[in-house]
Homo-oligomer: A and B are copies of this chain.
Amino acid sequence: MKRKLRYGMVGGGQNAFIGAVHRLAANLDGQIELVAGAFSSDAKNSQTTGEQLFLNPKRVYGSYAEMAKAEAALPADERIDFVSIVTPNFLHAPVATTFLKAGFHVICDKPMTLTVKEAKALRETVRKSGKVFALTHNYTGYPMVKEARELVRSGKLGKILKVVAEYPQGWLLDKIEVEGQKQASWRLDPKKAGSSSCVGDIGTHAENLGRYITGLKIDELCAEFTSFIPGRKLEDDANMLIRYQGGAKGVLHCSQISCGEENNLNIRVYGIKGSLAWRQEHPNELKFIPKGEAARTLRLPFGHPEAFIEAFANIYLEAVAAIRANLAGRQGAFDFPTVDDGVEGMAFIETCVKSATSGKWTKFPKL
């Protein structure tokens, strides 16, 4: 197929953080072209954003519903191939459902939905639609994370004993949600973010990273949620002990109030034959220690550091490959987070909430 794919975006108006990141990631490889958008519930913001992105004003819409309808009505060689959803959490499911039903592939930000129930419903919609659904657990796009998974899969670590995953941040140390910081206000609002702030936003990245690298399934967990800053309805810090199926143990903690931390997502996996360690802030290095041997630092060849946007772009690239295959009626194996990862992620969040509320070890549900 000798053409770029065309996509539209829902969310991501001026000043939105993650929408701009999605666009940079989508641009990087020159395989995709942004042609439409419903960037904001504020129609003017949406139009201005469209102009800045050099879009045809006719394809900048006032609502996602209008966009789905109008795009579906365009000729096949004009309309978008897929939609990218970068709204607050509570809109993920309705927007995704609308576009899937209108016949579009979907790339959606995480966490996938507000609840496990909603997640399972979306999974059903995806299955029925036959469309590609990619969830941007972007950290699994880092080459060294993929290399880490390969180390585990190839047996170089042997049976996994212990996983330590951390995602400390510090951006909510001040009560910026009352000062109108947009990100902060919706992420701490249960109606827009769901039943969890910190775990939903970043704990789920740590959980996904552990699952991606090790393939381990959670059996049960014990969670401790804290709202350190007074007046918050959702937690801004969470610590979890995890029991994996098969006997491995885990420690996972995440925080939005850890002073000085930016995006210090990191993971250590200890196996009976070796261990590995990776850290998002030095993403091109993977430490691997085979039992009885010297620590090795694995790197990408050539020493030209790749980083956050390249990793994000890798998710887009794989999703685009899947969409191209789907368009061509081909099968294939692709490496990007899917609706199933979304369901797992939602179950992680809900189980954490349950344990933190009860103060007890809590079983992870069957999905």
| Interface residues in chain A, defined as those with a beta carbon under 8 Å from any beta carbon in chain B | 2-4, 21, 23-24, 27-30, 34, 51, 53-54, 157, 161-162, 164, 166, 168-171, 173, 222, 224, 226, 228, 237, 239-241, 243, 247, 249-251, 253, 255, 257-264, 268, 270-275, 280-284, 288-289, 291, 293-299, 301-310, 359-361
Quick one: closest B residue to A297, CB to CB? Answer: B295
Bound CA–CA A299/B272 (angstroms):
21
Is the pair B309, A308 in contact by a Cβ cutoff of 8 Å? Answer: no
Q: Assuming A27-B30, A306-B309, A307-B310, what are 6 further A-B pairs, CB within 8 angstroms?
A: A27-B28, A161-B257, A164-B253, A226-B247, A228-B272, A294-B298
In the assembled complex, 8 residue pairs joining A and B whose CB atoms fall closer than 8 Å, in A order, are A28-B309, A173-B291, A222-B222, A239-B241, A259-B272, A282-B305, A297-B297, A307-B308
A161-B54 contact given A29-B27, A251-B253, A258-B270, CB 8 Å threshold: no
Bound CA–CA A360/B358 (angstroms):
11
Is the pair A226, B249 in contact by a Cβ cutoff of 8 Å? Answer: yes
Quick one: closest B residue to A303, CB to CB? Answer: B262
Quick one: closest B residue to A264, CB to CB? Answer: B303
Bound CA–CA A301/B261 (angstroms):
10
Is the pair A173, B30 in contact by a Cβ cutoff of 8 Å? Answer: no
Q: How far is the CB of A165 from chain B (nearest CB, A)?
A: 11
Is the pair B228, A239 in contact by a Cβ cutoff of 8 Å? Answer: no
Bound CA–CA A298/B295 (angstroms):
7
Q: How far is the CB of A70 from chain B (nearest CB, A)?
A: 22
Residues from chain B with a CB closer than 8 A to the CB of A261 are 270, 275, 303
Q: How far is the CB of A113 from chain B (nearest CB, A)?
A: 24
Residues from chain B with a CB closer than 8 A to the CB of A288 are 294
Q: How far is the CB of A358 from chain B (nearest CB, A)?
A: 10
Q: Which of the residues B237, B240, B275 comes within 8 Å of A258, measured between beta carbons?
A: B275
Is the pair A260, B275 in contact by a Cβ cutoff of 8 Å? Answer: yes
Q: How far is the CB of A51 from chain B (nearest CB, A)?
A: 6
Q: How far is the CB of A141 from chain B (nearest CB, A)?
A: 13
Is the pair A237, B161 in contact by a Cβ cutoff of 8 Å? Answer: yes
Q: Which of the residues B4, B53, B259, B361 comes within 8 Å of A274, measured between beta carbons?
A: B259
Residues from chain B with a CB closer than 8 A to the CB of A224 are 222, 241, 243, 249
Q: Which of the residues B270, B273, B281, B303 comes within 8 Å of A303, measured between beta carbons?
A: B281
Quick one: closest B residue to A161, CB to CB? Answer: B228
Give the most central of A170, A262, A274: most B CB within 10 Å: A262
Bound CA–CA A280/B194 (angstroms):
40
Q: How far is the CB of A223 from chain B (nearest CB, A)?
A: 8
Bound CA–CA A308/B301 (angstroms):
13
Is the pair B297, A294 in contact by a Cβ cutoff of 8 Å? Answer: yes
Is the pair B260, A274 in contact by a Cβ cutoff of 8 Å? Answer: yes
Quick one: closest B residue to A255, CB to CB? Answer: B162
Residues from chain B with a CB closer than 8 A to the CB of A170 are 270, 275
A283-B270 contact given A296-B296, A297-B295, CB 8 Å threshold: no
Q: Which of the residues B228, B284, B291, B307 comes within 8 Å of A306, measured between beta carbons?
A: B307
Is the pair B249, A270 in contact by a Cβ cutoff of 8 Å? Answer: no
Bound CA–CA A308/B291 (angstroms):
24
Residues from chain B with a CB closer than 8 A to the CB of A310 are 307, 309
Residues from chain B with a CB closer than 8 A to the CB of A309 are 28, 304, 306, 309-310
